[in-house]
Amino acid sequence: MDQWFEYKGALFNLAFTKESLDAIPEYVIRDDDVVIVTYVKAGTNWVVEIVNKLMRAAGKTDVPAADIPLCIAATVPGFGQPGHVIMEDQPSPRIIHTHLPWHLAPKMITSPKGKFKAIVVMRNPKDTAVSWYHYNQKLSPSLGTQRDIPWDEYVQRFLDGKVILGDFYDHALGWWQMRDDPHFLFLKYEDMNKDLSGTVRKIKQFLDISLDDVTTASIVESCTFASLTSAWADSGNPIQTIVARKGAVGDWKNSFSESQSKAFDAKYRERLEGTGLKFDFE
């Protein structure tokens, strides 16, 4: 754990610095920014691609998705500077992404100012845990990830909220309180998986983008898991080349023991009962 540090209730690895985290609350969000909020391994690259392709097709941006740094508070491999610094130089409208919990995010998002739009994507905690575990094995140890953590130990850390970027439920419920704010659109990874075409249309409508059906269908096809996996493998972007694994819903069944599944179910009921937030697990 020596390469991890705690900051205001959440754990971070060496992709983050206290200086960057300190700067984020006052970070200025432009009126035409599109903000994407995700917990780790909840479809981040997927929704960034969809939004980017829609905006490029509509002539709103010419910045490729590979040039958008994920998590504005982090210095992502291949970028050399914190995301919030890089984004200062990107032309409007920008696509801004954050993994940060609600209480650490820019105040202009959590207390909405201006006309920006925010898309929050969530994924069920069991598949999230499995995907995050395997992704950790691929990331450079220089980021403070530990390749050799046994699965059983990781499961307990996830349940205890002792993982990078903090507790899953704190993150989900922090952002869920924004569900009635018109700046926000909430999506579920599971729904994206079941109905990608409907998801793309929903995002297009939310962003007030007008495209013909043929163009929209082409974007849907280019954003299937198979299409993106192939494109990312050839992108040369060090994060994108390792980001895709199975892209499935319910893959957690191949990793969880019965007792682990029951422990996750108990935590799920404890934290989400009565909140209106629910997830599909298969």
What positions carry a catalytic annotation? Answer: 99
Instruction: Confirm if 169 and 267 have CB atoms less than 8 A apart.
Output: yes
Amino acid occupying residue 270: E
34-38 and 10-12 beta bridge pairing: unpaired
Tell me the CA distances in angstroms from 272 to 67, 164, 173, 269, one per residue in order: 36, 21, 8, 5
Instruction: Confirm if 75 and 83 have CB atoms less than 8 A apart.
Output: yes
Classify 226 as helix, strand or coil: helix
Element containing residue 249 per DSSP (H, E): none
Q: For residue 147, give the DSSP letter.
A: T
Instruction: Confirm if 211 and 204 have CB atoms less than 8 A apart.
Output: yes
Instruction: Confirm if 162 and 153 have CB atoms less than 8 A apart.
Output: no
Instruction: Confirm if 11 and 166 have CB atoms less than 8 A apart.
Output: yes
Instruction: Confirm if 45 and 240 have CB atoms less than 8 A apart.
Output: yes
Classify 247 as helix, strand or coil: coil
